[in-house]
A and B are shown apart, each in its own frame.
Chain A
């Protein structure tokens, strides 16, 4: 799509000073045409193409920055291996211990990869703004949603790609899904990563440096992930035990819990043993996750219509 054939290149290549070979009349003609060339704001196809181009940029940028690839996949993977080994003896779902911790923890690891990748992809909007690229997009004749869609599509492509890499690695350990299972998993992962990406976008839009973002990451996003059943299962309500009951409700009200449960259900069919809570069915997981994503996508769209810090000053 973006290469140039060697023949064109040779033919056009020339160096040195400024060259103005075209006659005046021709360019004036082009300028009249320029008024018609750009109707992106009125043409859905062109607008979607613009979104796709912006998403493509996110992917290319990511792949060209090695440290990002390593960071987003490496840390969750390391956590998985270390916690999987370390918790192996102490973690027991029930007396039979049918599920070792590294297995239990796998869907949570996939979610963590999604969280890191999607959110770091969208907070790059802060960098875009500082580098001036964003301003160029903002004054182009495209509606704002094109920019939001491009960002979210790019973020989710990266996130799902990374998560699939991890699942492929699991196949080596003998954890397989049916083709339909993989298809479902990709769809769910795509919805979840769009939700995380949109959440990151909303957080980042009004920030002018990435520093404030780390606080949000540690205080909101990590707890949200920890309390999603990713790391330990949701305890059942236990009358008289306020801590357990409190934890139960916090986790039950956390939308990410449903994404984790949904993914776990796809990888390990069957229910958790007595004493733990999980969503009633896969449909509940899907509904909550789609709702969560829709909420944040709408929020991102709304927030992008407003001017942000740094645009005006």
Chain B
């Protein structure tokens, strides 16, 4: 247990964690584990509790109920041990705009007890890996959002923590910078780091090895994207229509299925999609504006588990 890199405990174990802001329950009995050396996303719409969970894992906020362990260390009892194993990138940029890239990294290194020579060696190593080594003497305020994010990643990786936590790392980045960032995550994982990030982008969550989906403070799904998609049977038919309720009634009358209305579209899960398409078109006629057949996506998993669309959660 003293040498977490060699034991087989998961990187993070969250058990029965609940958290309240006054009256509002932000997390409600959430439990899951994050295996080592994976890219793990906490997916959820705004207000789902993912940022609260992030702050708890990052030891910024104290636990109210439940337990969180990092590499076997309790985040409350062994807070300093946990902090040594964590690299944290917050959503708001954690760099001082008035300092240069190197000055920022040096500050961070000192906080983690690295000597100046070691700090310099690692700063160059990580800045080079992030492709920003040529910016070392520039003020952070002059860097673009994407470059600043990379510098921040280099800063977080300076103490070479086995676990990297990132809160919405791709928000505010253009698609190119986002894809570069993901390249960094993959490379970090290959080098042995566990990368945990929060996101509200479904496509981003798909790229992770594993994900946990949160909705209104509860864990609604947990596993790999393909695993979760596999839980939705067969294929998915989505019908766009002006009167979804009437279409649902019509389908129910003719077929032994129970379609749902989500975001003004009629959806049903079927096994033999192409045959269904034909018979649905035949029976619904011109009430259908468009009809589509698709493999279930993460959004479908979310809908199946919560009964509402990903981006239509009320406040």
Identify the A interface with B (CB < 8 A).
1-2, 4, 8-9, 12-22, 24, 27-28, 30-35, 37-43, 46, 49-50, 53-54, 57, 60-61, 64-65, 130-133, 135-142, 146, 307, 311-313
Distance between Cα atoms of A12 and B135 in the complex (Å):
12
- A residues within 8 A CB of B159? 34, 37-38
- A residues within 8 A CB of B91? 132
Q: Quote the shortest CB–CB distance from A38 to chain B (angstroms).
A: 4
- B residues within 8 A CB of A64? 98
Q: Quote the shortest CB–CB distance from B52 to chain A (angstroms).
A: 8
User: Are B94 and A135 interface neighbours, CB within 8 A?
Assistant: yes
- A residues within 8 A CB of B62? 307
Selected contact of B5 from candidates A32, A37, A53, CB within 8 Å: A32
Q: Quote the shortest CB–CB distance from B32 to chain A (angstroms).
A: 21
Mostly, the A contact residues are helix
User: Are A132 and B129 interface neighbours, CB within 8 A?
Assistant: no
- B residues within 8 A CB of A50? 110-111, 113
- B residues within 8 A CB of A17? 131
Distance between Cα atoms of A136 and B162 in the complex (Å):
17
Interface presence of B280 (CB below 8 A):
no
Query: Which of B186-194, B223-231, B242-250, B297-305 contacts the other chain?
Result: B186-194
Selected contact of B61 from candidates A12, A38, A65, A307, CB within 8 Å: A307
Distance between Cα atoms of A182 and B152 in the complex (Å):
44
- B residues within 8 A CB of A137? 111
Selected contact of B113 from candidates A16, A31, A43, CB within 8 Å: A43
User: Are B180 and A18 interface neighbours, CB within 8 A?
Assistant: yes
Contacts A38-B159, A139-B60, A141-B83 given; does A19 touch B128 at CB 8 Å: yes
- B residues within 8 A CB of A307? 61-62
- B residues within 8 A CB of A57? 96, 99, 103, 107
User: Are B99 and A13 interface neighbours, CB within 8 A?
Assistant: no
Sorting the interface of chain B by its residue count into under 10, 10 to 19, 20 to 34 or 35 or more gives 35 or more
Distance between Cα atoms of A27 and B190 in the complex (Å):
10
Q: Chain B, 285-298, contact with A by CB distance < 8 Å: what is the 0/1 string?
A: 00000000000000
Q: Chain B, 82-124, contact with A by CB distance < 8 Å: what is the 0/1 string?
A: 0111101011111111110011001110111110101010001
- B residues within 8 A CB of A43? 113
User: Are B111 and A27 interface neighbours, CB within 8 A?
Assistant: no
User: Are A35 and B85 interface neighbours, CB within 8 A?
Assistant: yes
Interface presence of B134 (CB below 8 A):
yes
- B residues within 8 A CB of A49? 110
Q: Which of A1, A43, A46, A140 has the most CB of B within 10 A?
A: A140
User: Are A53 and B97 interface neighbours, CB within 8 A?
Assistant: no
- A residues within 8 A CB of B96? 57, 61, 131, 133
User: Are B112 and A140 interface neighbours, CB within 8 A?
Assistant: yes
User: Are B4 and A132 interface neighbours, CB within 8 A?
Assistant: no
- Inter-chain pairs besides A53-B110, A138-B60, A141-B111, 15 sampled, C-beta below 8 Å: A2-B102, A4-B137, A9-B136, A15-B131, A24-B190, A34-B161, A37-B84, A38-B112, A131-B92, A131-B96, A132-B93, A137-B111, A139-B83, A311-B60, A311-B61
Q: Quote the shortest CB–CB distance from A209 to chain B (angstroms).
A: 15
Interface presence of B263 (CB below 8 A):
no
User: Are A136 and B103 interface neighbours, CB within 8 A?
Assistant: no
User: Are B103 and A60 interface neighbours, CB within 8 A?
Assistant: yes
- B residues within 8 A CB of A141? 80, 83-84, 111-113
Interface presence of B275 (CB below 8 A):
no
- A residues within 8 A CB of B88? 135-136, 139
Q: Quote the shortest CB–CB distance from B166 to chain A (angstroms).
A: 12
- A residues within 8 A CB of B187? 18, 20
A-B contact pairs, 23 of them (CB 8 A): A2-B103, A4-B120, A8-B120, A13-B134, A14-B133, A14-B134, A15-B134, A22-B191, A24-B190, A27-B160, A28-B191, A31-B193, A34-B162, A37-B84, A37-B118, A38-B83, A39-B113, A40-B111, A53-B110, A54-B107, A132-B93, A135-B94, A142-B111
User: Are A139 and B3 interface neighbours, CB within 8 A?
Assistant: no
User: Are A139 and B86 interface neighbours, CB within 8 A?
Assistant: yes
Selected contact of A28 from candidates B5, B61, B134, CB within 8 Å: B5
Chain B residue at minimal CB-CB distance from A134: B94
Chain A residue at minimal CB-CB distance from B80: A41
Selected contact of A38 from candidates B3, B58, B113, CB within 8 Å: B113
